[in-house]
Every structure is written in C-alpha cells, then in structure tokens.
Amino acid sequence: MGVVNVTPDSFSDGGRWLAPESAVAHGLDLLADGADILDIGGESTRPGATRPLVAEELDRVIPVVTELARRGATVSVDTMRAEVAVAAVAAGATVVNDVSGGLADPDMLTAVARTGATYVAMHWRAHADHMRDFAVYDGPGGVVAAVREELAGRVAAALAAGIAPDRLVLDPGLGFAKRPEHNWELLRDLGPLRELGHPLLVGASRKSFLGRLLASGGSPRPVGEREHANTALTVLLAQQGVWGLRVHDVRAARDALSVVEQVLGPLTGEDDR
C-alpha cells in the first residue's frame, strides 16, 4: 500500500503532493514501483495535528481518487469521516482506511457497509492533538491485550453495522496513542490480533519509533533517513503473512521482497480481499 499524502502538514512529506496533479503523478510513480493499493489521505494524523474542515478534505482527496481510479489504480481513501468515505467510493475508491476504527464519526460504519467497500479499522483512542495523553497500557497483558480487546470491540461494531466479514481488515495502529516500546511490543506479538480472524494492515513507515531506535547523540534519526530500518521491518512482516504493508517508498519495499521471494519462494498474504 503506497502512501499519497495530499496534505500540507504530514510528518513525512507534508506539502510535497498537495496539488492534485502532483499527487496523481506521485501515485502513478508508486504504481510503477509496484504498489498494489494507493492510500490517498487529506488529513494529517501526526501527533499534535489539527483537523481540516470537511470541505478542505474533500477538495484535497476527491480529484486525486477520481483520476487515479480512472487510470486503473486500486485506491484506498484514508479518512475518519463518513462523508469523505462515501464520496471517495463514489469516485472510484474500493477501500476505506479509517484510522479511528469508526470511533471518530458515528456514521462511518453504516456508511461503509452501504458502499460494500473493504474497511480497515485501526486501533485508536483519540485525535492527534491529544492522543499522547492516552498512551497508557498498564492492565494485565499490557499493550497487546489492550489493543486486542479494543479492536475486538471495533470488529463487533463493524459487523453489527453490516460490513461483511470478508471486507474487514485490522490495523494495530503503530504510533497512535503508543510510545515506542508499545509499538515494538505489538510488532513482536501480532498473534493475538490474528486471533480476531481478520487480515492485518501494518503501517510503520518512517514513524518516530524507528527514528528513536536509530538515534545518534541523543537525536532521533531524521524522517528521511529511516527507510532502511523500515525496509527490514517490511520484510519481517511480509514473512509473517500480513495482508498489507503501508509504505512511503514502494520501490525499496518491493526490491527487498523480491530478494526474499527469490530465496524463500512466494510470499503470501492472509487473503486477497
């Protein structure tokens, strides 16, 4: 899943692809590099980010979704708003990637169910401007048990709203209301999340916990210099059979996976929804 941020303030590449023509060109480049899905987002969810107006988000993403779908891309819309999700599906998107798992907008789950799109429900506790206040996992089983329990609740809500079981994907939400140690604990033990019975999407690309791992002299590695670490993680996750790998540098991920497949044989995800 190649990332196309149509935003002025995303942590990795905010502003680079804000103009629709730039975003479309970037999406086409990612397709040429081997992306299976293009994830188009018009709202930054970096820590501390403020939300755009609905009209702003629609203006950012719908022209890009429309053109990339017209060009034959499989398009995902990265949004927490039902109105944006419905408009994007009407414009050609087939996946709704909701980082709030339906908690930010009470109309999201029923709206997506009516469209028939695949729905990605991420683990989420609060909006970006104060999510750090919720990075506490001191119950039995720690962060893995908490994320499993809370995602199980989102599964139940999604199914109750009418989303088909074979159209539901789960995301552990690395970096969202989680400190670096929480992200590593989840990556070491995805098994309990698999037990929920739905494919997993994992988005670790360029996130701050990688920068802290690679810190030098007390300073985290800059965003643009974390790709090698993310590529290694991509290989490990692919070997575990996760459904989706959300990345910024599709070529690096594809090159690494090609090497692994040459040695070990074809890598297969959990299914092809």
Identify the pLDDT of residue 273: 59
CA angle 86, 91, 93 (to 5 degrees): 75
| Dihedral sign (CA 157, 78, 69, 235) | negative
Please, are residues 199 and 165 in contact by the beta-carbon 8 Å criterion? no
Q: What is the pLDDT along the chain (273 residues), one digit of tens a residue?
A: 999 999 886 556 656 777 999 999 999 999 999 999 999 999 988 777 788 999 999 999 999 999 999 999 999 999 999 999 999 999 999 999 999 999 999 999 999 999 999 999 999 999 888 899 999 999 999 999 999 999 999 999 999 999 999 999 999 999 999 999 999 999 999 999 999 999 999 999 989 999 999 998 889 999 889 999 999 999 999 988 899 999 999 999 999 999 999 998 887 766 655
The pairing of beta strand 75-78 with beta strand 201-202: unpaired
CA angle 111, 50, 157 (to 5 degrees): 30
Task: Quote the crossing angle between the two packed helices 180-188 and 142-161, to the nearest 10°.
Answer: 70
Identify the pLDDT of residue 218: 86
Please, are residues 230 and 183 in contact by the beta-carbon 8 Å criterion? no
Query: What are the structural domains of the chain?
Result: 2-264 (3.20.20.20)
CA angle 89, 93, 95 (to 5 degrees): 100
Q: Residue 11 — φ and ψ, nearest 5°?
A: -65, -30
DSSP 133: G
CB under 8 Å to 10, separation ≥6 — which residues?
41, 44, 46
Identify the pLDDT of residue 223: 87
Q: Which residues carry out catalysis?
A: 207, 246
Identify the pLDDT of residue 12: 60
Distance CA 62, CA 91 (A): 7
| Dihedral sign (CA 250, 148, 213, 16) | positive
Task: Quote the crossing angle between the two packed helices 54-70 and 20-33, to the nearest 10°.
Answer: 50
